[in-house]
Structure 1
C-alpha cells in the first residue's frame, strides 16, 4: 500500500513542533546535563541507562525521579497500549471509515504521538521540571494538528490514559508528586481545543 505523501507545509510543521524546551533549566542543571536531555530530544528517544547514570552523577538530588523515568521508559509499550485501549473504548468508531483516526496510518501516527508524549513527560520528570514545554513548539504542534484534522478530544483522552497507566506503576506516595508532569501536557493539549 502506498503511504499518502505529506505536504511541504505539514513536513515543515512537523520539524517545528518540538514540544520540549530546556531553556529555563540553567538555574537547576549544569550545561552537561542539559546537553544530555537535548541530545535525547534531538534524536527523538528516551533517556538511555547511560544518560540516566550521568544525570544522577551531575544532579544527585534527582535520583528518585530518574528511577521513575527509567521504569516508565521500560514500560512505555504497555502504557501506550493502555492509553490506546482507553481511546478506543471512549471513541469506539474512531478507527473506522469516517472516524477521526481512519485510515490505519492516522491511528498509527496517533499511537506514535502517545509514545512521544510520554518521552517528553519523562524528560520533565528526570529533570524535576514540570515546565518542560516550549510555547513555540506547542504552537506549531497545534497548527500541525489543525492541518491534519487530528481529533483533539481523543488525544486528550489518550494523554489522560497515559497518566493513569503511568501512575498505576508507581508507589502511591509518588503519584501525587508525579501527577503535575502529566497534567502540564494535558493542560497544554486541552488549550488546542479553544
Structure 2
C-alpha cells in the first residue's frame, strides 16, 4: 500500500469535522452560526457567546465558563494520570509512541473537550457530524493514529472534566457533559472500526 499523499491528508482533514451542531435543526440560526464560527477558528467560546447560548438552552453559564477556563489544565492532568498508570504507552511500541503521536493525541483531546463544551452550551449532547466522523476515522487510519491510546486519554479526560464541572454546575448540566463525552467516544470508536 502506498503512503498517503499530502493532498489526501489535507482533503480528509478538511472533511473531518466532528461538530454537527451548525446543521442541527433544533438550534436557532444565530446559535448555529456562532458555533460554526467558533469551531472554524478552533477556539473555546467567549464569555458573551456562552451567555448568549446558555440563555437559550437554560444551561448555567458561569460553571461552563469556569470549565472552559480549566480546559488545558484538565488535558494536562489527564495526560499525567494516564502516563503514570500506563507508562508503556509512550515507550517504543506503545500506542502513543513516538512523541509527535502523543502530542497530537493531547491536542485532539483539547479540541474534543472544546466541542463537548459547545454541546453543553446548547444542551445537545448528540452533537457529532456523521460524515465528519467518518472522515476523521479515515484520517486516523491513513495517519496511523493510535486510537486505543486516544480513547484511553479521552476516558480519563471525561472523568476529570465531569468531576470538575459537577462541583459548580447543576446535575442536569453535568449529565450533558458526560453524555457529550460518551457520544464522542462512541462515535470515534465506531468510525475507526468501520474505516479499518
TM-score normalised by L of structure 2: 0.84
CA distance in 1, matches of 2:166, 2:22: 31
1:189 correspondence with 2:188: yes
Gaps (5+ residues) in structure 2? none
Q: Runs of 4+ in structure 1 displaced over 6 angstroms? A: none
1:137 correspondence with 2:132: yes
Q: Which residue of 1 aligns with 2:108?
A: 113
CA distance in 2, matches of 1:156, 1:140: 17
Q: Which residue of 2 aligns with 1:52?
A: 50
1:161 correspondence with 2:156: yes
Deviation at 1:106, TM superposition (A): 1.7
Partner-residue secondary structure (3-state), 2:164: coil
Deviation at 1:23, TM superposition (A): 5.0
Deviation at 1:90, TM superposition (A): 4.5
Match of 1:31 among 17, 29, 32: 29
Deviation at 1:163, TM superposition (A): 0.8
Gaps (5+ residues) in structure 1? 1-5
1:127 correspondence with 2:101: no
CA distance in 2, matches of 1:25, 1:92: 40
CA distance in 2, matches of 1:76, 1:102: 24
Deviates more, 1:81-90 or 1:35-44: 81-90
Give the total of aligned pairs.
Answer: 185
Deviates more, 1:156-165 or 1:77-86: 77-86
Structure 1, residues 74-95: CA drift from partner, whole Å, max 9, x if none?
A: 0011210122123323442222
CA distance in 2, matches of 1:13, 1:157: 24
User: For the structure 1 residues 87 and 7, does the alpha-carbon distance in structure 2 shift closer, same or farther, using more than 3 Å as the test?
Assistant: farther
CA RMSD for the aligned pairs?
2.1
User: For the structure 1 residues 181 and 67, does the alpha-carbon distance in structure 2 shift closer, same or farther, using more than 3 Å as the test?
Assistant: farther
User: For the structure 1 residues 106 and 21, does the alpha-carbon distance in structure 2 shift closer, same or farther, using more than 3 Å as the test?
Assistant: same
Q: Which residue of 1 aligns with 2:69?
A: 74
